[in-house]
Structure 1
Amino acid sequence: MGKKHHPQQKLSSFWSAFQSKESGKITTIFPRALYADLLEPTQPKKSKFRAPPADDTAPGTPRNAQDSYKAAAAECKAKVARIVRECERTNQKFTDADFDIENDPSSNCLFGLVRSGDRPAPIPQPEPFPPPPPPADDAASVESLEFETYFPGSVHRVNWVFENPQFTVNGYSSTDIKQGANGDCWWLAAVATMAHRQDLMERVCVARDEECGVYGFVFQRDGEWISTVVDDNLYLAADDFQEDSYDPSGKRARDWRRQKQTGSEALYFARCDDPNETWLPLLEKAYSKVHGDYESVSGGWPGQAVEDMTGGVATTLASNRVLRKDRLWGELLTASRDSKAGGSTTVDANGSGDHFVFSLAAMSNSFSSEKNGLALGHAYSVLQSREVPDEKDPSKLVRLVKIRNPWGQRSDSGLGEWSGPWSDGSREWTPYWLSALGHTFGDDGEFWMSFDDMLQTFMWIHRTRLFDETWTVVQRWTTAHVAWVTGYLRARFVVDVSRAGRVVLVLAQLDERYFRGLSGGYRFELHFVLRNAATGERVCRVRPAHSWDTRSVSCEVDLAPGRYEVLPKITATRRRGARGVVDVVREYADKNPQKLRQVGMLYDLAHAQGGIPDEDGAIEARRAEKKAKREEKRQREKERREREKLKTEREREKRRRERALRKAKKAVEVAAKAIEEVVAAEEEKHGHEHGEKKDYKTAAEPTPAAPITAPPPGATESTTLPIHSKPPGTTPSDSSNPASQPVAESKAADADPEKASGSAPTPAPPSSTSAPADPAVPEAPSAAPVSAPAAEQSTTTETTETATTNSDSESDTESDTESETETEASETDSESDSPGDETPPRTPWNAVCVIGLRVYARDPSVAVTLVEPNSKTEAAALTVEGRPAGATM
């Protein structure tokens, strides 16, 4: 029977398995190794105006709000000039190799990376202007993204399509705009909002050469301006005249071209109302190119498009939550005065000189697709706001708003324009009002309505604040691990303000529209709290107006000089059915490598923001560290083998010396014995000659011979020689160590049984005439010099062995420590996963979001710094209001 676990332990084990053990985010699709054989300029590079701090605590670099734009515009003009020179050299019109729609067999210019499958067979075209679906989630989650199906008939250049092509006819105008087959009404609504201001459009359309067919544009991406160029190839709705058709005179082909492939009406995507005007389809092509393809710009919010083309900050207002309508109306009037003044500085009611543009989104809380003639789930432009004295009571001012549908006309079912009060042909229109507003009836997508009706009809109002040279901007990016439970992050942004005034704060995540298909499996929603760092008082709390617009949240607030803290809060939800980045890369590396290169490069560029960890660089650093450790270990092993070899050689030399010593000792013993025999014989002979009988033991007692000390450990036992004096070179320890004497005596006894039994020959008394005894004098000490080097060698060997042992012990200790660490980690994982019968999720929770704080202020020294709490106590102090999670947040 299995071990039972406490219910709390089971639940803890479930959450332990729920969280990923290796959390992190892929920040590089193409690692450095892929660029090893390429020139440096072809590798992803960081933005010139990005502020890459040296460390996480370094502040971002403040700069003028227009610096990034000026650099991108200059770069764009240089590109166009370079292309024109090349066209003159080759005598050919420009063809954009990066976005060549004329030579695109894989339809990479039309569709994104992840597609619904192979391109389906053509289907009957629906009505020209059907009610579009609600704007798709700009994060392009799998469950919300409806794959587009495009079927353009042919591709031709501008001078082939238009009889008298002109980039603009009488300047830019919102009345020029007509939507095509793409679902980019949100972008067209933003263009129409800007088109009545020539200065804003000229900032986007930077340079061109119509003869060479090259056009340069600039857009903002993630707070930085970028430039792009496109050629003048455009998609047409009709196919080319079939070559196999019998047409000997060519009349049928000419008629086909004139009727179906000539003028603005022949274009497949967006087009201008004038039959020879080209700026809108080329601008749409450039916007699609920077995002990767036409499909990537299908579905969105007009405020985001205005941000991309002006560098402003959009705020979404819920029309049913407006607190002070007069304040909103004043901002609408300011935007109208800006359009009349051509973008010159105007002063609003508060004297602030702020600039705004507005757009609208008509949504529905039900399944209705229309309301009073307007298509729901659709974006609209605000062109004018007028305050006109009433015809009957001049003291009363009537508030009216002029709005435009990007369709540019009604659909076949009559849908597309407002049909309520102040609509075309309504009873409110009198000669007075037609003259006062300068309005004419027509099927042009433009209509008037009252300010109150606008608030009741359109659910969302997108207000975009514009910035000029008087503003300073600074931004700071980082990555945040988002927990499954909601709460404010431990890390926070610190904003230092030195000049009192209006400050705009934007907390944003990377625009995933640029790398759809690689956006990962989570959808993030941003919130933040701004508080005074000194007093802890909350200044404002910001959250999204709705859950569909997730790219950024912002606030505008008047701040006094001081330090303020921005506390981010991020909620994450899984995208059902979303595919991981690794899985997508594995599939499309072979299936569609060129599209993967394009989208993957956009992904890498987006994640090259300063402050975002370079995970590929970290991996390379870890690899280099491991390689260095392996080299160090290999070197230690080599040194160990050399020490072992030296030790073996020394031991071999030691044994050789010991053998020589034993041979010398044995020779000495043999010589000593021979001498004793000779001396005894001489003494015996001498005694017989003199007739004397003496007891040599009692007559002269000789000095006892000092035994030779025991050899060093490991040496072979040998017979010791008793001598009458300490030999030269013997150390004091050799002669004075009493503990060694019994051992030496025991060994001597084993080697010489006669001495052990007390039958040693009796030495003769000293005599000056005893010549045979003299040879013993040089022979006795001769053994000492042989034994002394052995002792020295033993000491050296022992020292070397000790050093080797210590080094090996250190190496073994390091290995044991690493092994123990890995074992502990493995045991911890096993303990956390073992209890409980709950099945862990298919993919562990690993939500990592890239966020950045961008601050605009009329303060040249404004600064933003990322701060991590120093302790858990400090992190606990970041809790705002201390309330638990609610039902909706």
Structure 2
Amino acid sequence: MASPGVCMSILNARKMKDGFGTFTNPERFNNQDFEQLKQYCQIRQVRYIDEMFPPDRRSIGEGVLSPSDLMRVTWNRPRKIVSNPCFEVDGISRFDFGQGMLGNCWILSSIGALTFQSVILKQVVPPEQRFDEDYCGIFHFRFWRFGKWVDVVIDDKLPTIDGNLIFVHSKNPTEFWPALLEKAYAKVCGSYSDMNAGTPAEALVDFTGGVHICIDLKEPPKDLWEMMCRAGQSKSLMGCGTPQGETSANTVLPNGIVQGHAYAVTGVKTTLSQGQQVNLVRLWNPWGEGEWKGDWSDTSMLWNTVSPEDREMCLKKRDDGEFWMPLEDFCRFYSDLDICCMCPEFLDENSSCHWKTAFYEGRWVAGTTAGGCMNDLDSFCTNPQYRVKIDELLSGCSSKKVEKNMLVSLMQKPDKRNRRLVKNLHIGLYVFEVTEEFKTQRGKFSASFFSRNRPVAQTKTYLNGREVMELLMLKPGEYLIVPTTFKPNETASFILTIVSKAETHVQ
């Protein structure tokens, strides 16, 4: 068994080629086989207990509960909490649950978005899990983690105080899929406390294995509304967050918006009000309550100015955490919008064009392949280099409108399992055009190339987050992509994702 805090199963290229860790063939997290473990328990007529994520204070972690509350925790199976537990009741919905004592709104808002996409939902939450005659206290869920899909096994012992769930809880006390899903994600993060604080982007990627695009709502693109409409139609997941503000996080403003909080975007709609077109965004608060109080809120008189059909379709006067607000107020009160999808086809007005995705694994190693940013020009050339040839767009994909034709994402991979112990480096990437005089170059490009050529694109800033990405418009030709840390001689692993509208060839 690996030492505490060490990631026990990091993907390597050979495993991917053999088909393990894919959407259809997830890798066993911690090498635990769900079917074998379930069969073992059934034959011996015992209830499963997960030794890899034991029902004790180690799995809760530090800093979430006070010492006195931690002493009161008991781990109970659903059948000890209620007499008639169910995995799900009348399907799976965002309205099933509310946030508990954990600051993991970034995960729960993403789960809310996930419930709209049945194909991905069935991947993350395998169906046909029941408290029936085959029940033996074992469940499993699937997540995408740093380049691979993993199947995560858990027992169903859940942390309670005085018989009540202390973390996420269903509004129907007999329904347990939200608490079990949260426990499985806590396991891959290291503990419940390792889920405390984060961004929707991280969970959205882990629930889809897809491409993430972040939009700064303080400087939104001109076609933001059209982009959101296409994203909603293309089975994308959308989440957003509010600024921290000057006071502590989770402060509720007079308008009902929570500071430093994550929400799910659950719908977009255009309606006519007094002859004027209004673009509305529907949002959901993972608390399961607490809503916007401004224009187009549940109690707004503006709903009397739209057609009866739109009013009937949109207006639900209940405190369930979901509400509508105009796009202008959305950009005003929210800081960023995260869109995550299997493929960024929503960026195109032309839906007939298909984007292609490729993953590449790499590593910066101090002293050899960790050259730092262009401030350190002498060592910069030692960084990993990816040479890309971009072909002409097919006629069906070309457009007179200037648009993006490539997305490049750089994600650093942790060397520790416990999320709170991961120290992200400041990372970024550069893109250089390979001009005619260098096209015969073989192998890595030397310092002379970078001293004579300026990047045609680069990340706006170096971030110490899990991922940075750039949307690019590159004409046909050859390019060099260089992922880097800000400082030289920093060791870390990474995944470079290249999503291209045109045919590309990578060395």
- Range class of TM-score, shorter chain: 0.7 to 0.9
Q: CA deviation at 1:192?
A: 0.8
* Structure 1 counterpart of 2:388: 496
Q: CA deviation at 1:313?
A: 2.4
Q: How do 1:34-45 and structure 2 match up within 5 A? A: none
* Structure 1 counterpart of 2:61: 111
Encode CA deviations 1:762-801: one digit per residue, 9 max, x unaligned: xxxxxxxxxxxxxxxxxxxxxxxxxxxxxxxxxxxxxxxx
1:566 corresponds to which letter in structure 2?
Answer: I
* Structure 1 counterpart of 2:173: 275
1:330 aligns with 2:226: yes
1:467 corresponds to which letter in structure 2?
Answer: C
In 1, are the aligned partners of 2:409 and 2:467 still within 8 Å (CA)?
yes
In 2, are the aligned partners of 1:497 and 1:560 still within 8 Å (CA)?
no
Q: Among 416, 423, 427, which residue is 1:526 paired with?
A: 427
* Structure 1 counterpart of 2:256: 373
Higher strand share: 2
Gaps of 5+ in 1: 1-27, 31-42, 53-60, 124-149, 239-260, 344-355, 410-415, 573-844, 866-889
In 2, are the aligned partners of 1:62 and 1:861 still within 8 Å (CA)?
no
* Structure 1 counterpart of 2:349: none
Percentage of matched positions with identical amino acids: 23
* Structure 2 counterpart of 1:419: 293
SS in 2 for 1:375: coil
Q: Among 86, 89, 92, which residue is 1:169 paired with?
A: 89
* Structure 1 counterpart of 2:242: 362
In 2, are the aligned partners of 1:204 and 1:219 still within 8 Å (CA)?
yes
Question: Are the structure 2 counterparts of residues 63 and 431 from structure 1 closer, same or farther at C-alpha, using a change threshold of 3 Å?
Answer: farther
Q: CA deviation at 1:71?
A: 1.8
* Structure 1 counterpart of 2:448: none
2:79 corresponds to which letter in structure 1?
Answer: N
* Structure 1 counterpart of 2:116: 196
Encode CA deviations 1:415-469: one digit per residue, 9 max, x unaligned: x321111122122122846741332111111111001110001011112232399
State how far apart, in whole Å, the 1-side matches of 2:72 and 2:431 are: 50
Q: CA deviation at 1:151?
A: 6.2
Q: Among 194, 214, 226, which residue is 1:296 paired with?
A: 194
Q: CA deviation at 1:365?
A: 4.8
* Structure 2 counterpart of 1:479: 364
* Structure 2 counterpart of 1:510: 413
Encode CA deviations 1:348-381: one digit per residue, 9 max, x unaligned: xxxxxxxx32111101453373432111011111
In 2, are the aligned partners of 1:528 and 1:543 still within 8 Å (CA)?
no
In 1, are the aligned partners of 2:272 and 2:306 still within 8 Å (CA)?
no
2:465 corresponds to which letter in structure 1?
Answer: T
Encode CA deviations 1:65-114: one digit per residue, 9 max, x unaligned: x972222079999933212211221012222221121xx3xx110116xx
In 1, are the aligned partners of 2:364 and 2:384 still within 8 Å (CA)?
no
Q: How do 1:627-666 and structure 2 match up within 5 A? A: none
Q: How do 1:116-135 and structure 2 match up within 5 A? A: 121-122=67-68
Q: CA deviation at 1:382?
A: 0.3
In 2, are the aligned partners of 1:482 and 1:848 still within 8 Å (CA)?
no
In 2, are the aligned partners of 1:504 and 1:855 still within 8 Å (CA)?
yes
SS in 1 for 2:407: strand
2:148 corresponds to which letter in structure 1?
Answer: E
Q: How do 1:836-851 and structure 2 match up within 5 A? A: 847-851=490-494
State how far apart, in whole Å, the 2-side matches of 1:503 and 1:67 are: 25
Q: Among 8, 13, 36, which residue is 1:50 paired with?
A: 13
Encode CA deviations 1:509-543: one digit per residue, 9 max, x unaligned: 124773356546xx522222212223657442213
1:380 corresponds to which letter in structure 2?
Answer: Y
Question: Are the structure 2 counterparts of residues 44 and 213 from structure 1 closer, same or farther at C-alpha, using a change threshold of 3 Å?
Answer: closer
* Structure 1 counterpart of 2:331: 455
* Structure 1 counterpart of 2:285: 405
1:212 aligns with 2:106: no
In 1, are the aligned partners of 2:75 and 2:157 still within 8 Å (CA)?
yes
* Structure 2 counterpart of 1:385: 268
State how far apart, in whole Å, the 2-side matches of 1:277 and 1:448 are: 28
State how far apart, in whole Å, the 2-side matches of 1:267 and 1:120 are: 16
Question: Are the structure 2 counterparts of residues 846 and 498 from structure 1 closer, same or farther at C-alpha, using a change threshold of 3 Å?
Answer: closer
In 2, are the aligned partners of 1:384 and 1:403 still within 8 Å (CA)?
yes
State how far apart, in whole Å, the 2-side matches of 1:463 and 1:79 are: 33
State how far apart, in whole Å, the 2-side matches of 1:453 and 1:570 are: 37
* Structure 2 counterpart of 1:229: 153
1:323 corresponds to which letter in structure 2?
Answer: P
In 2, are the aligned partners of 1:63 and 1:472 still within 8 Å (CA)?
no
State how far apart, in whole Å, the 2-side matches of 1:270 and 1:422 are: 29
1:187 aligns with 2:90: no
Q: CA deviation at 1:507?
A: 1.3
1:570 aligns with 2:466: no
Q: CA deviation at 1:483?
A: 5.8
State how far apart, in whole Å, the 2-side matches of 1:495 and 1:67 are: 26
Q: How do 1:298-313 and structure 2 match up within 5 A? A: 298-313=196-211
SS in 1 for 2:491: strand
State how far apart, in whole Å, the 1-side matches of 2:242 and 2:307 are: 26
When Rg is computed on C-alpha atoms for both structures, the one with the higher figure is: 1
1:294 corresponds to which letter in structure 2?
Answer: Y
In 2, are the aligned partners of 1:296 and 1:516 still within 8 Å (CA)?
yes
Larger relative contact order (C-alpha < 8 A, sep ≥ 6)? 1
State how far apart, in whole Å, the 2-side matches of 1:284 and 1:458 are: 26
Q: CA deviation at 1:303?
A: 0.8
The TM-score with structure 1 as length reference comes to 0.47
Question: Are the structure 2 counterparts of residues 443 and 45 from structure 1 closer, same or farther at C-alpha, using a change threshold of 3 Å?
Answer: closer
SS in 2 for 1:383: strand
Question: Are the structure 2 counterparts of residues 386 and 337 from structure 1 closer, same or farther at C-alpha, using a change threshold of 3 Å?
Answer: same
Question: Are the structure 2 counterparts of residues 151 and 422 from structure 1 closer, same or farther at C-alpha, using a change threshold of 3 Å?
Answer: farther
1:496 corresponds to which letter in structure 2?
Answer: V
Question: Are the structure 2 counterparts of residues 312 and 152 from structure 1 closer, same or farther at C-alpha, using a change threshold of 3 Å?
Answer: farther
In 1, are the aligned partners of 2:362 and 2:494 still within 8 Å (CA)?
yes
Question: Are the structure 2 counterparts of residues 485 and 860 from structure 1 closer, same or farther at C-alpha, using a change threshold of 3 Å?
Answer: closer
* Structure 2 counterpart of 1:551: 466
Encode CA deviations 1:727-782: one digit per residue, 9 max, x unaligned: xxxxxxxxxxxxxxxxxxxxxxxxxxxxxxxxxxxxxxxxxxxxxxxxxxxxxxxx
Question: Are the structure 2 counterparts of residues 474 and 323 from structure 1 closer, same or farther at C-alpha, using a change threshold of 3 Å?
Answer: closer
Q: How do 1:792-831 and structure 2 match up within 5 A? A: none
Question: Are the structure 2 counterparts of residues 225 and 405 from structure 1 closer, same or farther at C-alpha, using a change threshold of 3 Å?
Answer: same
Q: Among 439, 451, 458, which residue is 1:541 paired with?
A: 458
Question: Are the structure 2 counterparts of residues 483 and 84 from structure 1 closer, same or farther at C-alpha, using a change threshold of 3 Å?
Answer: closer
Q: CA deviation at 1:470?
A: 7.0
In 2, are the aligned partners of 1:194 and 1:201 still within 8 Å (CA)?
yes
* Structure 2 counterpart of 1:696: none
User: What number of residue pairs does the alignment pair up?
Assistant: 452
2:387 corresponds to which letter in structure 1?
Answer: V
Question: Are the structure 2 counterparts of residues 478 and 89 from structure 1 closer, same or farther at C-alpha, using a change threshold of 3 Å?
Answer: same
State how far apart, in whole Å, the 2-side matches of 1:483 and 1:438 are: 51
Q: CA deviation at 1:237?
A: 2.5
